[in-house]
Structure 1
């Protein structure tokens, strides 16, 4: 048998390189929205004089077009393939904020290997992603959040639920699209939910939050450069809290929140970004109940709504955020003129017709497979009025 000769077609240049990690195959929880983020990130990197290298494996995306990056590695977005690329290219750093949860999960391995993560540090990301550490941070900052506890066994979970009070939201850390999140109302349902988590995500810390029933949900996308804080947009959800943000209709800008509530949300968002030492993008989810603002979670990366806001306001926010991550620019180097007249509504797209046996009831686990944008001139628009009427149906259940 003849010896196999391996030939490497990739010849690394002598230029300073930055690798952008994509989100891999489209799936519920992350999809084409992050391709938009990666494309604008690549353009920003090239504008700053770096060699832009894209790592992604989805042929349906613009980021994998042959002329988008200076060099494309059409490879699975996992550690084995990424490490081989890093060993060959010896990049200045890697950007994980633009490729959703798939890219973000590789931050730990990059940190352990001493590879520079462009933008927010691994520890900043870990605090935000680890539900327990994040809740401890909120406590330290005196920011309201739902009562919570952590568990690894069903017995621990039962004790925690008794302490925080039913109904409770059961969820693991570091998950995509609310995977295996459940709202439970009694001990029997809790035991079933925890056993399912232990079976499918062994060793994963389980967080048990008191569920704030029948309250409003909203979110903020923002950029922080270490000194300056800019709110890209405040989005108010139509559906009440308890339905995953990816499955909710969201209105930009907010339409029914008082100026005091919006100011409080922005204040909390800035305090969190500063405490986490964010360099780049952050998305924060809020619940509003009886006029009080609670923080549900923070995502230290581009969110699904970042491209939505950029398109609605016609501002190149991903270009700005990438340059902030790289330390090339501060937010004060840019001007932000929002060009939206009226409102923009994020409209989730579902594929239930393709999957007839899937449970169509919406909850904390995401089920939408995409999203659309709809512009309305004012709140008297028939489409919006019907959405708000449907919201009353959710609240009456």
Structure 2
């Protein structure tokens, strides 16, 4: 096993990785920007090293500084967490060149699956269903108009190199296409340095279903069930649960088998997620993308499967076989995760950085977990993502999980900054959500208009 790993991230995921490594007897190195000097992950790690100023481009995205920190501290591997450099094949390749293990899939697989156009082509080869769409990159509005006419409206415009909801637009007709294409392309160019787009027929209404997969260097690939991530705002997930109430036994077997087939086709190693859109009316599902990293919502899968995904990541990167085989994986109960952000839902979800003057995190009972890097007196910096905690619950059934989440959110108290805790409490208590009657359009089209009326 590694003696020491460096965590190339911050916030709750850095804390999560440090805890997993410590339980495996592995030493940890935290990196931090000048804005994060007093962050919790800095205090918890065995060593910590500053890699630059507050701006991400000069610190958490600074490959040279991060690799230099790994060399200087003698770290044998780097865990990138999610976001930042987690899906950057150049960084993975640099780690390999410097004989530092990247805790994730190979740069080759990242290149193959990180580009959505390449990923579609590979999934077609693997026999995994994909939505009708463009065969390659789309660079001009004239091309876009022609392709949209062929596949039919409504369509989705997507950045080939996209992620995090950027470079994506829904288009209902030809009148909307040109301005939407130009806006999405400009956003993609600014965010990823690549303005290449592709077009897919929009599956609407749909469920967003993702399957957690794990692979090792010996060729073993397993799945850990599915998560329903349909409650989204602006293509960003808000609440996730497992299992999905929209899937029965037969469909569950089909969609998880497709996810494993996808991973096997590309010889996937480490943790990853295969994402699908499910058309509930027809029961058909379509490959959307593969995330080549650990997901924000991985704890719901850990609760229902009993498998520690981050520990498996470290073991697999060390060359070990997966600690479980598919036949060993059993699923129990129901889990839900709510993302807690420092933001103001009543003011268009504007970020709310500042100093936490008082903090009480929910606790007590079986099946409740809070992943966070907050503490009383901590100042949330304005430079990074606004997520400050994740509340995850597990119950014997979905009703118990819903009630436990309501109880946890009622106890959650953060003073000094505005958070979305009350928003999440209303969402988890909504009759449609309680009934499991929602899809990817529900939050934006049904819940938010009513929620915003309340003032």
Provide TM-score, normalisation by structure 1. 0.76
Q: CA deviation at 1:61?
A: 5.0
Q: CA deviation at 1:390?
A: 7.9
SS in 1 for 2:225: strand
**Is 1:20 matched up with 2:6?**
yes
Whose relative contact order is higher, 1 or 2, with alpha carbons under 8 Å and at least 6 apart?
Answer: 1
Map 1:78-227; keep pairs closer than 5 Å: 78-86=62-70, 88=72, 92-96=76-80, 99-111=81-93, 114-116=97-99, 117-118=101-102, 119-149=104-134, 150-202=137-189, 203-226=194-217, 227=219
Structure 1 residues 368 and 163, CA gap change in structure 2 (3 angstroms): farther
1:309 is aligned, of 301, 312, 330, to 301
User: Are the aligned partners of 1:105 and 1:174 in contact in 2 as well (CA < 8 Å)?
Assistant: no
Structure 1 residues 390 and 87, CA gap change in structure 2 (3 angstroms): closer
Q: CA deviation at 1:155?
A: 2.2
Q: CA deviation at 1:127?
A: 1.4
Q: CA deviation at 1:40?
A: 4.1
2:17 is aligned, of 38, 49, 63, to 38
Cα distance in 2 between the residues matched to 1:186 and 1:128: 29
User: Are the aligned partners of 1:238 and 1:388 in contact in 2 as well (CA < 8 Å)?
Assistant: no
Q: CA deviation at 1:135?
A: 0.1
Cα distance in 1 between the residues matched to 2:92 and 2:399: 50
**Is 1:231 matched up with 2:214?**
no
Cα distance in 2 between the residues matched to 1:375 and 1:330: 24
- Structure 2: 5+ residue runs without aligned partners? 52-58, 351-384, 404-428, 447-455
Structure 1 residues 100 and 223, CA gap change in structure 2 (3 angstroms): same
Cα distance in 2 between the residues matched to 1:186 and 1:352: 34
Q: CA deviation at 1:139?
A: 0.7
Cα distance in 2 between the residues matched to 1:193 and 1:56: 38
Cα distance in 2 between the residues matched to 1:122 and 1:215: 32
Task: Encode CA deviations 1:191-234: one digit per residue, 9 max, x unaligned.
Answer: 22222233343333212221111122211112111432332332
2:433 is aligned, of 372, 384, 387, to 387
- Structure 1: 5+ residue runs without aligned partners? 1-14, 25-30, 360-365
Structure 1 residues 275 and 354, CA gap change in structure 2 (3 angstroms): same
Structure 1 residues 287 and 115, CA gap change in structure 2 (3 angstroms): same
User: Are the aligned partners of 2:338 and 2:390 in contact in 1 as well (CA < 8 Å)?
Assistant: yes
Provide TM-score, normalisation by structure 2. 0.68
Structure 1 residues 334 and 355, CA gap change in structure 2 (3 angstroms): same
The equivalent of 1:5 in structure 2 is: none
Q: CA deviation at 1:245?
A: 5.9
Task: Encode CA deviations 1:74-114: one digit per residue, 9 max, x unaligned.
Answer: 32112242243356457544333xx2131224431441572
